[in-house]
Amino acid sequence: MENGGIQIGTQTTHDGGQFYFNNTTVPGGLLYNHKYQIRMDTLQLPKLDITLGGTKPIGAPGGRLAARGARQASSSQRYYWLSPANRSNFTDPGLRDSDARLVGGSAVISVTSLDAGQNDFTNDLSVYSCPEVVAEKDTIGICAGIALDSIAADGNYLSRVDSVRFVVFSSPQSGTAMYGSGGTVLGTVKADANNRAVIYHPAISTVNTSSAVTQQYVYVLIYPIPENQACRQSSETVIQITPSLSATATGGELNCTVKQVTLTGQALYGDGSKATNATYSWTGPGSFTSSLQNPIVSVEGTYTLTISNPACPSSFTTATASVTSDTVVPDLTAGGAGLPCVNCSATLFAEAPGATLLWSGPNGFTSTETEPVVTIPGEYTVTATGVKGCTISTTVELLPSDNDDPCMNHVPVCVPITIRRVR
């Protein structure tokens, strides 16, 4: 600088990004106790594709590198910045530090040489470009209650210190809001040799007790957070969780009147509302199977209903229904009678607690009384019907009179009487 800022030497990066300025690379050598500046033109950077594998120019349309340029044009333009100094709060701060300061369009490192034997300086001139990160899937559908296996993202232009961070939010984010607070960090991972980053078994709740598909929003970010907001790239994966299902099942009772019952099945969402999209599968006694929601059965026993969501065939829920049978007949007691005499009557008897009675007999006789009065000898049948429709019948006999008492059998005879008037 004492000589007015005359250029005394140039270097092109080599040996993994090293620049050397010494008595070999600087024509005429370096002077002791002298002020120098190392300058790099930052205006050249947008024209370069800088990677860990080296630096190559970005081809112009129609040139030898046109195909490469076309591929790069499909992604965002690469911009480079001078790394800030004093990156001590990061892992491997030396990879982030830059000893240069920006002067106009140049990155400048100032050096003052010392006496002989004291001139061995190492300085960092670090630049960085915006890394890119893209989630492998826009959406991931998952059944309620099933753990999510993994989420993956592909990176590009990642530096040695860049990692990929996965953060989940309950609502969609815009701009660079996902770099702020409000989300839950699922994990931070390094990309592999193919720039692919995967987080396995992320701690995302897949509980869904509503009647609709719920969504959680996972954002893939660059970490450490780039200080330049233009480099705060992100990509979104929406986790869609199907509603959980529960099942209810009811049976019924078979009896002497009801020979068949309808099983009732219902799929419900977690909020108790009816599920409109569900499959039903019944199994029961005698190898019974049915895919109807409400099948009809005629055999008592336990029936099992399995309900599933067509979108989640491996996720199902069950319920059971019982079909009982009540065919117990009433307890019936009945007794006949005998006529005490000709043209007399007698009383029959029947008892069946909790049941109704119906008598039938000679000459179309019927009665619902417990003790009907009858006069015609013969057989009388009484039927008891329980509340479940079950019946039992028995027959009793009314015996004729075996008493021939003439008084009892006397039939009155009318005798005419003649009345005359006497004068």
- Which CATH architecture best describes the domain 245-326? Sandwich (2.60)
Among 168, 221, 228, 147, which residue's Cα sits nearest to residue 191? Answer: 221
Dump the DSSP string for 62-92. Answer: TSTTHHHHHHHHTSPPP-EEEPPS--TTSSS
Tell me the HSE value of 205 on the side-chain side, using a 13 A CA sphere.
8
3-state secondary structure of 229: helix
pLDDT at position 84, please? 64
Please tell me the least confidently modeled range out of 45-54, 214-223, 273-282. 45-54
Measured distance CA(39)–CA(60) in Å, rounded = 27
Ranges for all domains in the chain classified under CATH 2.60.40.10: 132-241, 245-326, 333-406
| Contacts of residue 174, Cβ cutoff 8 Å, sequence gap at least 6 | none
What CATH number labels 333-406? 2.60.40.10
- The string of pLDDT tens digits covering residues 337-358 is 999 998 899 999 999 999 999 9
Measured distance CA(238)–CA(109) in Å, rounded = 46
Q: Does residue 208 contact residue 241 with C-beta atoms inside 8 Å?
A: yes
Find the distance separating the first CA and the last CA of the chain, reported in whole Å.
192
| Confidence check: pLDDT of 38 > 50 | yes
DSSP code of 30?
P
Q: What is the pLDDT confidence band of residue 295, given thresholds at 50, 70 and 90? A: very high
- The string of pLDDT tens digits covering residues 130-184 is 889 999 999 999 999 999 999 999 998 887 788 999 999 999 999 999 998 889 9
CA-only gyration radius of the chain, Å: 51
Strands (E), 113-205: 127-129, 132-135, 139-142, 150-156, 163-169, 184-189, 196-200
- The string of pLDDT tens digits covering residues 66-125 is 333 333 333 445 667 677 665 555 555 555 567 888 888 888 888 888 887 777 778 877
Q: What is the pLDDT confidence band of residue 205, given thresholds at 50, 70 and 90? A: very high
CATH of 132-241, one of 2.60.120.10, 2.60.40.10, 3.40.50.300, 1.20.140.10: 2.60.40.10
| Structure tokens, 75 | 């992604």
